Structures are given as C-alpha cells and as structure tokens.
Structure 1
Amino acid sequence: MQNTLIKAAAITLSLIACAGAHADGVRIEKNISLELATQIAAQAVATCAANGYAVSATVVDRAGVVRAVQRADNGGPHTIDSSRLKAYTSLSARETTLAMWERSQKNPAAANLVHIPGYLLLGGGVPVKVGNEVIGAVGVGGAPGGQLDEQCAVAGIAKVQEQLR
C-alpha cells in the first residue's frame, strides 16, 4: 500500500512538473492592432501632406507583417515599397532607419547592412514601442529627404502615444 502511494505521488509530481514546463513555452506579447496601425499611417500621411509631400506610410506588426498602408493622392508608386522596407528595417533593428543610415556612413562594417535582403537604409523608418518593447514600426517614403519622412513617421506615432501603454 505504501509503495502504491509513493508511486502515485511520483506520478502526480511528474505531471505537475510537465504542466509547468509546458506553460514556460507559451509567450504573451503585445502587438499592434489594425486600428492603431491605421491611425499611425493616416497621421503620418496627413502630416507630410500638410507640408506638401505626397508620401506613403506603412505600419508593420512585431513580426514584420504589414498591418496598414496609406498612400497620399499623387504619391508615387515607389513610395509604397520604400515605406514598407523602411518599416521592416526599423522593426528588425529596433531603431530608426535614419540612425542606421548615419552609422553606416561612419562605420565601414555597418555599411554592409545594405546587403541584408529587405533592408532599406534611408531615413523614414521608426519603431513603435510600448515602454522599451518594440511592437511594430512605421515607414514613410516620398518626402524629399529621409529626415522629412522620419518627421512624418514620428508624428504618426505621437498621434497614438496615449494608447501605447
């Protein structure tokens, strides 16, 4: 009888240990919603339009998947691809593409970043963060300079800053 109780206790402890190990494999992550992505893209395009720039804005989620795209009236067709690539690059590196571009100009080793498939080292990509956690990124393309694209991207994020908690 005592032997049976010991075996039952060992089996119970094994099951509890397995259940705990399984729970460690489940991750809970914040991600960008469609509504939030749409608001960011719309504000980025509106900010650039107010300054006379016909741009596109693309917002990607934490996996680099496109959540929202907006192209201004008269925005060039190339602006859609450039905005997506800037968003992807910013998300991947978890920093602005303008900072990456500047670093690549000063550091020969960083200059090789341009050879990563899908990377575009032009200003205009900005990560979207909740605290220090990157949950997505916005890319803007079409203004006459990466710093101007970045200003519009930052304006898009600023529009929803209160929701990024």
Structure 2
Amino acid sequence: MFKPTASLLAMLAALSAASATAQVRQQGDLTLETANRLVAGAIDTCRRQERAIVVAVLDRGGNLLALQRAETVGPHNIEASRRKAYTALSTRTATLDLARQAAASADARNLATLPELLLLGGGVPLSAAGQVVGAIGVAGGGGAVNDHACALAAIRTVPGLDQPAAQ
C-alpha cells in the first residue's frame, strides 16, 4: 500500500490551491462615485452646448448605477439611455458604430431585432486596464452624434478609465 509522504501531501495541497486561485478572474468594478462623476461630466458638457439629456451608467453586470434626467427631457429618453448603455456593454461596442454597421450590413442590421438592444448613438462601453467595467448611455441631446459626443466627454473626466479613440 502506498503511503504519501508529508512533502508529497504539501506539494499536492499547493497545486490544488494554485489551480483554485487561477480559476478566479480579477475584475475592476465601477464605484458609485465614478458613475456620478460620469453623469456630471455628460450633463455639464451637454449643458454648455445648450442640450438637455438623460444619462445612465451601468456596471459590468448590466446593473444601473446612476441615472439622471434634465427636467426638460422627455421620459422616453430614460429608457433609451439605459438601453444604449446596455447595448454598448453587451456588444462591447459604441452604439454609434453599431448603428453605422447596421446601415451598411444586413448581418449587423439583425442586431436591431434583439430585445433590449438599441442601435442608436449615445452608448459607449467603459473600460479600465483593457477590461470592460460598465457602460454609459446618453439620450435626448438632439441626435445620436451629439449623444455620443457627450458620452465621450464624460469618459474624459475620469482619468482611471481607458480613453476611447476620438471619432
């Protein structure tokens, strides 16, 4: 009968612990403070352009972290901002890019048939150190390009987030 030695048992325990640790992925999370900073950045940028908006910020799990609506923006924009953020998070692509791809390709156009996705500019994924940590959605700013620009401006206000390329 085989009797394991203490050193063999210690080695097996170490290997077991190492493999268990290797299975846990470390991911960053957005804080409420960061979400509020993003909201303020988008609202301030759009206000300077005399645009009233709604801003939604989702965490990496798609949960709403922050939502704010200017009092003059129609209530339908609340859901639009959330869905833009959800679409950007889910696809890891800015919704303005998705909308343009859908206009150019029948395959991409099919994305519009999926529930919850909104292929309208204003949603941008948020990433830190190359990992998606959430998304921002802006609606009501007078068009998809304006909404997208306000979302990008908001991201620029948070140094810890990866900065999207200018379009």
Please give the TM-score of this superposition, normalised by the length of structure 2.
0.89
Pairing 1:71–2:69 present: yes
Structure 2 SS opposite 1:163: coil
Pairing 1:163–2:160 present: yes
Taking the TM superposition and a 5 Å limit, the aligned residue runs for 1:31-70 are 31-70=29-68
TM-superposition CA deviations, 1:51-88 (whole Å, max 9, x none): 22221000111111111111112121111110000011
Decide which moves more: 129-138 or 99-108: 129-138
Cross-structure match for 1:85 = 83
> Letter of the aligned partner of 1:80 in structure 2?
I
Structure 1 SS opposite 2:66: strand
Structure 2 SS opposite 1:27: coil
Q: What are the ranges of 5 or more consecutive residues in structure 2 without an aligned counterpart? A: 163-167
Structure 2 SS opposite 1:105: helix
Write 1 or 2 for the structure with the bigger share of helix: 1
Query: Post-superposition, which runs of at least 4 consecutive aligned residues in structure 1 deviate over 4 A?
Result: none
> Letter of the aligned partner of 1:140 in structure 2?
V
Cross-structure match for 1:132 = 130
Give how far 1:118 is off: 1.1
Q: What are the ranges of 5 or more consecutive residues in structure 1 without an aligned counterpart? A: none
> Letter of the aligned partner of 1:118 in structure 2?
E
Contact conserved, 2:62 with 2:89, CA < 8 A, in 1? yes
TM-superposition CA deviations, 1:85-124 (whole Å, max 9, x none): 0011111111210000000000001100012221000000
Give how far 1:7 is off: 4.0
1:142 pairs, out of 134, 140, 143, with 140
Q: State the aligned residue count.
A: 161
> Letter of the aligned partner of 1:90 in structure 2?
A
Contact conserved, 1:32 with 1:136, CA < 8 A, in 2? yes
> Letter of the aligned partner of 2:136 in structure 1?
V
Contact conserved, 1:56 with 1:140, CA < 8 A, in 2? yes
Q: Percent of aligned pairs with the same residue?
A: 38
Give how far 1:14 is off: 2.2
Structure 1 SS opposite 2:99: helix
Structure 2 SS opposite 1:112: helix
Structure 2 SS opposite 1:60: strand
> Letter of the aligned partner of 1:155 in structure 2?
A
Bigger CA radius of gyration: 1
Contact conserved, 1:43 with 1:156, CA < 8 A, in 2? yes
